[in-house]
Every structure is written in structure tokens, then in C-alpha cells.
Amino acid sequence: MTMFSLNGIRNAFYCALAFGIVACATAPVPVEKLAVARSSIERAEQAQAAQFAQVELTSARNKYAAAQAAADKNEAEVAARMADQADVDAQLAESTARAKQQEQIVGEMDNSLRDLRNETLRRDSSGAGATTPPPQ
């Protein structure tokens, strides 16, 4: 009976040791999430987010820097969470920049159409059907 108790204690010790090792093991640094966030930031920069979505791009860059700092400290959960947030902010910056660029193009087209309309009205009112060249 004493042998059984010693074996039981030894097995319990080994189980506790194994559990302790597993519990203390750190999660791997989220290298893939950091790469995805970096790629999203680069796409936002290419979309001219610095000009059209500066707040969102700055937020993405700051969160990426925080993710990188957490990864350097082996704080994998914090690094993963911050990398995910940086990715989302960068995607928002890219989308915002593209939308504002489209708005700008639409505004320019509206102005061009208005100018054409005004020119047509001027020509019609100055002599309906006259084919004189426009003044320069």
C-alpha cells in the first residue's frame, strides 16, 4: 500500500509539473496578424489616406506600433488584439480615402457639367442657331 501511495504522489507531481509547464508557456507571437496589419496600412498609404483619412491612418499606425511593442515583450494576446485593431483602422482609412477621392471626382464632374450647361445657355441666348465661334 505504501508503494501505491508513492506512485500516486509521484504521478500527481508529474501531472502538476506538466500542467505548470503548459500553463506557463506563452502563446506564439502573432506574426501573421502583424503582417496583415502592416499590409493594410501600406494599402491605405497607397490610397492616399495620409491626405484624405489622416485620423484613421494615424490610429492604425499607432495601434500597429503598440502591437509591435507587445510582440517584442512576448505579450501575444495584446499583440494580436492590437494588430487586429490596426488592420481594421487601416481598412477604414483606405475606404475613407477612396470614398473622399470619389467625392472629389464627382464634384469636379458636376462643376464641368455646370460650366458646359452655362456655355450652352449663353450660346442659345446670344443668337439662336448662330454658328459663330466662341469668344476667346
pLDDT tens digits for 20-72? 555 555 678 899 999 999 999 999 999 999 999 999 999 999 999 999 999 99
Q: Quick one: cell of 83?
A: 494588430
In Å, what is the CA distance from 110 to each residue of 45, 91, 97, 103? 28, 28, 20, 10
The rounded distance, in Å, linking the Cα atoms of 25 and 13 is 18
Task: Give CA–CA dist 72/116, Å, rounded.
Answer: 60
pLDDT: which is higher, 3 or 46: 46
Closest C-alpha to 85, from 41, 28, 51, 52: 41
Q: How far apart are CA 73 and CA 41, in angstroms?
A: 22
Q: Distances from the Cα of 17 to the Cαs of 13, 14, 78, 105, in angstroms?
A: 6, 5, 27, 66
Residue 131 has pLDDT above 60, yes or no: no
State the pLDDT at residue 63. Answer: 98
